[in-house]
Every structure is written in C-alpha cells, then in structure tokens.
Structure 1
Amino acid sequence: MGLSAGLVSNRQSGHQLGRQLVWGLFFASILAAWGLLFVMQPGLDLPAGWQDLGADYLASLCRSTAGTVGYAPVLAMWALMALAMMAPTTVPALKTFTDLGHAGAASASGLAALISGYLLVWLGFSAVGAAAQVFLSGHGLIDPLGRSTATFLNAALLALAGAYQFSRLKQACLNSCQSPMMFFMAHWKPGASGAFRMGLKLGAVCLGCCWALMLLAFVAGTMNLAFMGLAMALMAIEKMPVIGRYLTVPAGVALLAGAAVTVFFALPIMN
C-alpha cells in the first residue's frame, strides 16, 4: 500500500510539474509576442547593438507598406498580434481544463494540445487578416501603420463590429466562453488528440466572439499597441461570466455611435 501510494503521489507530482511547465511556456510566449510587437513599432529608437538581434529588421518591416514587404512578414505580424491579444483571454478556460486535471481527467500533454488547437484557429484568422491587409495596402486603402485611410471602410468596420455585438451567434459563442466548465462537459474528449480537437472548438467559439472586434485593427492601426491592449482587455472582460454580461450591449452601442460619428464628420459642411 505504501509503495502504491508513493507511485501515485510521484505520478501526480510529475503531472503537476508538467502542467506548470506548459503554463510557463504559455505565458512566456505571450510576453515574447508583446515584446516583438513593441520592437516592430515604427519610429522606435532602438538601443545600440539591438540590430544584431534582428530588432532593426523587424522594425524595418513596419516602416513599409504591406504590399512592399510581402505576405509572409504581414502574416507573422498578425500571428504575433493574435497571440498577444487572444491567448490571455482564454486563461479562464485553460484554468478550468487544468482543474479537471487534478481529478486525473487532464494532463500536461493535454493542456499543450488544447492550447495548440486554440492557437491554430487564430493562426487561420491571422492568415485571412494578413491577406486582407496586403490587398487593402495594394489598393491604397491603408497606410504603412495598417490604418484605414478610407472613411467608408472605417465606418463599415465600426458598424459591423457594433451590429455583431447584438447577434445571436455572438451571444451563443459568448455563452460558451463565459461558461468553460459547461463547454468541456459538452465537448470532452480524452487524451491529447481529444484535447487538440477541443482546442479547435474552443478557438472557433472564441473566434465567433471576437473576429469583428479584431478587424477594428484596420481602424486603429494594426501596429497600434494601445488598441491591442484595450481590445484585449475588452475581450477578456467580456468573457467574464458576471461583468461580461453588462459589457456586450454598451460596447455595441458605442461602436455603432462611432460609425455614425465617422460618417457625420466625413459629410461636407453645409454653409
């Protein structure tokens, strides 16, 4: 009995250490993404020697238009933006998954697979966002900072994001994000492969919540760190089960009002 109990205890300690390692890598990757996005800011005065680390090259990518640097660098920038903004918003769901691990239902490999599936969905969205930026840049509709220069596009994106806040799809996806325990109970699949599939579903639900808000990067600028931080906070709070329920409608109203104001100030002034 003593030997068996010791083996079980050692196994549990190993699982706990593994989960902590995955958590550490998860948060390290988020910090690295924010750091790289900061280094890529146009006009940033880099300290001497940083160019040897490739920082000057990263910054140079954002001094040119998306049409000039090509698709791959823009995709890398969108992937970093998605990681920096969206990964933190899924922490409650990941915490719920690891809590299930204390009962032996989840493992470190399962947690890693869940995160991988989740991020793969956002990588797909990043591919679409990067393609859109290259297309818009090629037609002169956005500036080198990834900011729309067309009033109609700004108004349309604000109106789209505002109207989507009131949609049934948004509410259905948001309900799943706000109740991760119910999500896992409804979609639970054992093993790392099952966790990966759950990660894909979790990513799809999260995408259903946030895709319209993410497209507002074209309004504020795809390299605007202030927008990224504000949008991340908004999406994270919106996924909270109590506070989030009181945020969706006001955010929708504010976005629709922003669209109306954008159109109003674009109209010629009548004398």
Structure 2
Amino acid sequence: MLRSSMRNVLWLGFFAAILVSWWSLYSMSTGMGLDLIGRPGPVAEAMRSMDPRMDMDMPMASFGPVFAMWAVMMAAMMLPTMVPALRSYDDLIASANGTRAGWLGLLLGYLLVWILFAAVIAGLQLVLLFAGMVDMLGIAKSRFFAAGLLIGVGVFQFTRAKELCHGVCHSPMTYFLTRWRTGFGGGVRMGLGLGVFCAGCCWGFMALGFAGGVMSLLWMGLATFFMVLEKLPQIGHLIMKPLGGALAAAGIIVIAYPVFVGG
C-alpha cells in the first residue's frame, strides 16, 4: 500500500509540474501581449521594434530572463515526451531492481540535460538577436532564415543521426536493458544519457521556434504534440520521415509565399 501511494504521489507531482509549466508559459505569452498563435499586439509590436543594442536593460535582451523562459519551455514541452521512459522504468521496479529513488534520479538527469540545452539555446537567441536575425520576441526577421530552419530541420529527419537518437527515445526499455544502473545515482546517469539522445533527436523542433516566434503557444503545442507522437511505440518510426518532408515543403512554401514571415 505504501509503495502504491508513493507511486501515485510521484506521478501526480510529475503531471502537476507539466501543468504548472504550461500555465507559466501562457502567463508569460499573454503578459508580453501575444495571442495564442504568437501574433503580437501593440505592446509586443513595440518590443519587436526595439533595437537591443539601444535597450540592453530590456528583459529579452538579457541572458537571465531568456534562459528562464527557455527552461520553463523545456519543462513544459519535454516532460510529456518522457512518459514512455518513466513508464518503462516503472515496469522495471516491479520486475527488476528499480527503485522510486532511481525513478526520481532518471527524471532529474533528463531535466539537467534540457536545462543545459535551455542555456545553450538562450545564448543562441541572444546571438541571433544582436546579429539582427531575430527580433525581441525571437521571431525571424527574414523569411529566408525561417525557411532555412524549416528545410534544415526537415532534412535532419532523414539523417542517420536522427535515426540513431530516435531509436533510443522510441524504445526506452532497450536503452535501460543495455545501460542499467541501480539506485538514485544510477537513475541520474541513465537520465543524463537518455536526455542527450533525446536532445539529439528533438533539437530541431526547438530551433523551429525562431521561425515563428519562441513564445508562440501554437508552435510550442505543435512541437510537443509531434515529439510525443515520435516517441509512441506503435507509430513513432512511421511519422519521422513524412514529418521531415512536410517541414521541408513548408520551408519552400515560406520562400515562395511570404505570408507569415516578413523580410
């Protein structure tokens, strides 16, 4: 009974963290004057027009706020994709020598990788901002840059690197059986490894935020949806390449029909 109660508490806490993260993103997005699909209102338009070199004190021109935003985004978008891995580890608690401490360690290690990724992509956003390639809201200023991202990420879906990383994310039980470690420390080590493979698999979906705006709830929702689909055992391997083709086609359309991206 105690073990069952602990399991329920951990899973409830996990899903509560996802809900809180999404609510935080919604609050940040609406607070910046954006609607649900990332279209800026008057306040957000004023932010977009600001030159970061003239407004160094603006939150979106400083590493701390941008990193915090990306860290919350990583929690909201990547925690749902970890459900298959956590469920697989849950099964091993009953059939092997997994523990609840190991379950928590697995989650912590995975989050640490994505927090590091948040720091890297926050730095990249500032580089792009000061280079004049994106605006204060992280929206591409050139349709060619946005199209290049779409085409690049689409092509990546066909690469061997994507296939290898996706294979681990798609089959976490195989990963555990070949890299099994016990206890909390072992869970952290496996979580770090799983997080690295997951980052290698999903980095492109994060980079696509610069195509339409990193605070677009539409982009965040779609990216999360497709990343979850890719990790489903039954269909994940079937949608990877069609999705890549769709992204590349979208990039070509953006070049030919500059409706959503200016420049």
TM-score bucket (shorter structure): 0.7 to 0.9
Q: Which has the larger radius of gyration?
A: 1
Check whether the contact 1:62–1:145 (CA below 8 A) recurs between aligned residues.
Answer: no
Pick one of 225, 240, 249 that aligns with 1:257: 249
Aligned residue for 2:123? 131
Letter in 1 for 2:22: W
Q: Deviations over 1:28-70 (max 9, x none)?
A: 111111011111112279xxxxxxxxxxxxxx99984676211
Pick one of 190, 197, 204 that aligns with 2:189: 197
Distance 2:230 2:81 in 1: 9
Of 72-81 and 240-249, more deviation after overlay is shown by: 240-249
Q: Deviations over 1:175-231 (max 9, x none)?
A: 111211111101101111011000001101111110011100111211111111111
Is the aligned partner of 1:97 residue 2:89? yes
Q: Percentage identity across aligned positions? A: 41
Pick one of 11, 15, 31 that aligns with 2:3: 15
Alpha-carbon offset, residue 108 of structure 1: 1.7
Distance 1:201 1:168 in 2: 18
Of 135-144 and 199-208, more deviation after overlay is shown by: 135-144
Aligned residue for 2:33? 43
Instruction: Map residues 237-256 of structure 1 onto 2, 5 A cutoff.
Output: 237-256=229-248
Check whether the contact 1:164–1:170 (CA below 8 A) recurs between aligned residues.
Answer: yes
Aligned residue for 1:27? 15
Check whether the contact 2:165–2:200 (CA below 8 A) recurs between aligned residues.
Answer: yes
Instruction: Map residues 105-120 of structure 1 onto 2, 5 A cutoff.
Output: 105-120=97-112
Aligned residue for 1:50? none
Letter in 1 for 2:140: S
Check whether the contact 1:40–1:62 (CA below 8 A) recurs between aligned residues.
Answer: no
Alpha-carbon offset, residue 261 of structure 1: 2.0
Distance 1:96 1:81 in 2: 24
Distance 1:231 1:88 in 2: 11
Structure possessing the higher relative contact order (Cα contacts under 8 Å, 6 or more residues apart): 2
Alpha-carbon offset, residue 246 of structure 1: 1.8
Q: 5+ residue gaps in structure 2?
A: 36-42, 259-263
Pick one of 218, 232, 239 that aligns with 2:224: 232
Check whether the contact 1:63–1:144 (CA below 8 A) recurs between aligned residues.
Answer: no
Letter in 2 for 1:247: I
4+ runs deviating over 4 angstroms:
60-67
Please state whether the residue corresponding to 2:95 is helix, strand or coil: coil
What is the aligned length? 240
RMSD: 2.1
Letter in 2 for 1:24: L
Letter in 2 for 1:71: F
Instruction: Map residues 200-215 of structure 1 onto 2, 5 A cutoff.
Output: 200-215=192-207
Please state whether the residue corresponding to 1:40 is helix, strand or coil: helix
Q: 5+ residue gaps in structure 1?
A: 1-12, 46-59, 267-271
Distance 1:90 1:63 in 2: 38
Alpha-carbon offset, residue 245 of structure 1: 1.9
Distance 2:126 2:10 in 1: 34
Q: Deviations over 1:91-114 (max 9, x none)?
A: 011001011112352222111110
